[in-house]
């Protein structure tokens, strides 16, 4: 072992020569690793290890009750609610606190999916329309305003259209240009009157509100109400290229980013109280594009400003800028952009657990195909209550629908209501679309890494739910004897890792069931 002075001399020599000091680096890494391990061992907040449990082959309903109750008993705290019903035979195989109110997290999206499919059917499409309130002269001048009317389309983004975040507005502007309009003497007016003005549902915690999964709600929404500041290098010493994606006139951008030699980036972003986004710093010439994503606070203005920019990019002059208002009943429709079929949007929502889709579809369900009701949490909750009472046959007194996504801490459902819903969906004409929208164990999306190499893999279709205080799974699994089982596993508490592991084992055991 070198003395301290010799080690310093070696380090200085290697540094001057441009070589790395491998021995000292290796010693430093080992020392750091040892220190980290000591910190982990001494950390009192580290959760206890999760019990290692394998699934059990079940051969009777008594086995189901015995094994599942034993598994729920392995959590150290919290509350379980669970129910398993054979949809093939109609009998209940297991129930634990099945009638108790529980927070559902994202399994709430099962309710939103069902009411949307019930109201619209799987092939329904929403329509974002452009309208005019004046005449168009021979020279292409529109003497009046042009409106963009939101229809609560959650997929108005680049997710289903080629061309990135600006694709929907570009497509709609193309359609307007094809009508021969070249000049608008009035304004571009955004109409978001299909929904009420509540952009943030009750029960969304403050710490959620700047996260992409908690985007604002509006009948006129674009790009899931997210905007990216995109920074790309140009030439050394020159300003970098800084743009908003999608481009919109509603959000001012102030950029002071320069291009420097080399790689890397030192960037700072800030959003001012008036909505202006500021970008500062530097980016290396060898660095790829860097992006920073913000939540849009005023979705309708954001989308309207994006439509204006798309019109201008096509050579259409607009004198009056943008504002918000309701399209007149006498407005003439000049272009429409249809959404993907509802079933496709529900598949994206459930497989990726997209809260934005759920919130818009929830309110759309209240409006219905006639669009004669304003979409709101209150009206949607009433529609869902009626659906459960008259068609599903469930007790609605213990159900609270504060939003459509399950992000609200005020939402309450019961395992029994979830299983009853799954049973109704299994018999409904739209049932196959709901079933196919759910993640598959060991195969797709949020269940891709769970229940692999077990009887549940490729078999179980279910919606997940996860927050700081909730772990949930609800859906369908086919037993080895061909019986279709509907199940709901809801855990509310802080021992989430144990609960998640036990949910997987319970699901795997159900897939092995046969009698």
The DSSP line for 50-102 is: PP--------SHHHHHHHHHHHHTTSSSSEEEEEEEETTT--EEEEESTTS-B
Half-sphere exposure of residue 94: CA atoms within 13 angstroms, side-chain side? 30
* Least reliable range by pLDDT among 52-61, 97-106, 382-391: 52-61
Give the Cα separation of 108 and 355 in Å (integer).
10
User: pLDDT band for position 24 (50/70/90)?
Assistant: very low
Distances in Å between the alpha carbon of 59 and those of 66, 89, 148, 480?
A: 11, 15, 60, 10
Mean pLDDT, all residues of the chain: 91
* Least reliable range by pLDDT among 8-12, 48-52, 454-458: 8-12
Spell out the SS3 assignment of 469-484.
CEEEEEEEEECCCCCE
What integer pLDDT is reported at residue 167 of this predicted model?
97
Domains in the chain: boundaries:
1-32, 61-122+342-511, 126-340
- Judge whether residue 499 has pLDDT over 90: yes
Contacts of 32 (CB under 8 A, 6+ apart): none
- Judge whether residue 31 has pLDDT over 70: no
Half-sphere exposure of residue 272: CA atoms within 13 angstroms, side-chain side? 9
Give the Cα separation of 302 and 250 in Å (integer).
5
What integer pLDDT is reported at residue 16 of this predicted model?
32
Q: Are 443 and 431 in contact (CB under 8 A)?
A: no
Burial annotation 423-452 (CB, 10 A radius, 16+ → b, else e): bbbbeeebbebbeebbbbbbbeebbeebbe
Question: How many helices (H) and strands (E) in the chain?
Answer: 12, 19
- Judge whether residue 47 has pLDDT over 80: no
- Judge whether residue 42 has pLDDT over 60: no
- Judge whether residue 482 has pLDDT over 50: yes
User: pLDDT band for position 43 (50/70/90)?
Assistant: low
Distances in Å between the alpha carbon of 512 and those of 32, 249, 479, 484, 515?
A: 46, 58, 6, 12, 10
- Judge whether residue 13 has pLDDT over 60: no
Give the Cα separation of 475 and 485 in Å (integer).
8
Q: Please give the average per-residue pLDDT across 25-31, as a whole number.
A: 31
Q: Are 433 and 449 in contact (CB under 8 A)?
A: no
The 10s digit of each residue's pLDDT in 409-459 is 999 999 999 999 999 999 999 999 999 999 999 998 899 999 999 999 999
Distances in Å between the alpha carbon of 156 and those of 59, 260, 282?
A: 49, 37, 33
- Judge whether residue 46 has pLDDT over 90: no
User: pLDDT band for position 25 (50/70/90)?
Assistant: very low
User: pLDDT band for position 44 (50/70/90)?
Assistant: low
- Judge whether residue 6 has pLDDT over 70: no
What integer pLDDT is reported at residue 51 of this predicted model?
79
Instruction: Identify which has the larger pLDDT, 416 or 14.
Output: 416
DSSP 3-state helix, strand, coil percentages of the chain (rounded to 5)?
Answer: 35, 25, 40
Give the fold, CATH level 3, of 61-122+342-511. Answer: Beta-lactamase (3.40.710)
Q: Are 416 and 384 in contact (CB under 8 A)?
A: no
* Least reliable range by pLDDT among 198-202, 270-274, 352-356: 270-274
Beta strands 127-132; 332-338: pairing state:
antiparallel
Q: Please give the average per-residue pLDDT across 375-397, as a whole number.
A: 96
Secondary structure element (H or E) that encloses residue 487, with its range: strand 484-492
Q: Are 488 and 93 in contact (CB under 8 A)?
A: no
Q: Are 403 and 411 in contact (CB under 8 A)?
A: yes
Class at the top of the CATH hierarchy for domain 126-340 = alpha beta
User: pLDDT band for position 374 (50/70/90)?
Assistant: very high
What integer pLDDT is reported at residue 8 of this predicted model?
35
The 10s digit of each residue's pLDDT in 133-163 is 999 999 999 999 999 999 999 999 999 999 9
The 10s digit of each residue's pLDDT in 267-287 is 999 999 889 999 999 999 999
What integer pLDDT is reported at residue 35 of this predicted model?
38
Query: Which ranges in 139-196 belong to alpha helices (H)?
Result: 167-177
């Amino acid at each position: 072992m070198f003395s301290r002075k010799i080690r310093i001399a070696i380090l200085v020599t290697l540094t001057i020569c441009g070589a790395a000091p491998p021995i000292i680096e290796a010693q430093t890494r080992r020392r750091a690793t040892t220190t980290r391990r000591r910190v982990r061992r001494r950390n009192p907040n580290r959760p206890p290890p999760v019990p290692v449990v394998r699934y059990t082959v079940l051969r009777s309903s008594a086995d189901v009750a015995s094994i599942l109750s034993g598994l729920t008993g392995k959590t150290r705290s919290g509350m379980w609610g669970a129910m398993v019903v054979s949809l093939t035979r109609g009998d209940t195989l297991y129930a634990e606190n099945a009638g108790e109110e529980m927070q559902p997290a994202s399994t709430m999206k099962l309710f939103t999916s069902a009411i949307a499919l019930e109201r619209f059917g799987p092939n329904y499409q929403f329509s974002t329309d452009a309208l005019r309130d004046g005449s168009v002269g021979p020279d292409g001048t529109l003497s009046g305003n042009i409106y963009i009317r939101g229809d609560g389309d959650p997929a108005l983004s680049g997710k289903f259209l080629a061309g990135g975040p600006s694709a929907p507005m570009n497509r709609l502007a193309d359609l307007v240009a094809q009508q021969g309009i070249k000049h608008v003497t009035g304004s571009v007016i955004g109409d978001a009157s299909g929904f009420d003005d509540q952009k943030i549902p009750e029960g969304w915690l403050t710490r959620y509100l700047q996260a992409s999964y908690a985007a604002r709600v509006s009948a006129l929404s674009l790009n899931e109400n997210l905007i990216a500041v995109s920074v790309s290098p140009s030439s050394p010493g020159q300003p970098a290229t800084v743009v908003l994606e999608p481009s919109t006139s509603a959000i001012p951008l102030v950029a002071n980013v320069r291009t420097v030699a080399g790689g890397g980036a030192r960037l700072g972003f800030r959003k001012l109280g008036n909505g202006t986004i500021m970008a500062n710093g530097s980016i290396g010439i060898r660095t790829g594009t860097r992006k920073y994503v913000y939540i849009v606070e005023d979705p309708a203005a954001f989308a309207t400003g994006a439509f204006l920019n798309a019109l201008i990019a096509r050579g259409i002059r607009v004198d009056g800028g943008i504002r918000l208002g309701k399209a007149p009943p006498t407005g003439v429709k000049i272009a429409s952009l249809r959404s993907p079929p509802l079933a496709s949007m529900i598949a994206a929502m459930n497989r990726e657990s997209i809260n934005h889709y759920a919130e818009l579809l929830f309110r759309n369900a209240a409006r219905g195909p006639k669009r004669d009701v304003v979409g709101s949490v209150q009206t949607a909750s009433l529609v869902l209550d009626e659906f459960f009472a008259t068609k599903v046959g469930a007790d609605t007194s213990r159900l609270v629908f504060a939003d459509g996504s399950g992000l609200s801490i005020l939402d309450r459902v019961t395992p029994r209501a979830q299983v009853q819903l799954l049973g109704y969906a299994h018999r409904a004409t739209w049932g196959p679309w709901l079933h196919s929208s759910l993640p598959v164990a060991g195969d797709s999306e949020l269940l891709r890494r769970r229940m692999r190499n077990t009887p549940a893999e490729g078999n179980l279709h279910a919606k997940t739910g996860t927050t700081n205080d909730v772990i949930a799974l609800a859906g369908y699994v086919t037993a080895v004897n061909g019986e279709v089982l509907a199940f709901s596993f809801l855990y509310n508490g802080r021992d989430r890792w144990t609960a998640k592991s036990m949910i997987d084992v319970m699901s795997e055991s159900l897939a092995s069931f046969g009698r």
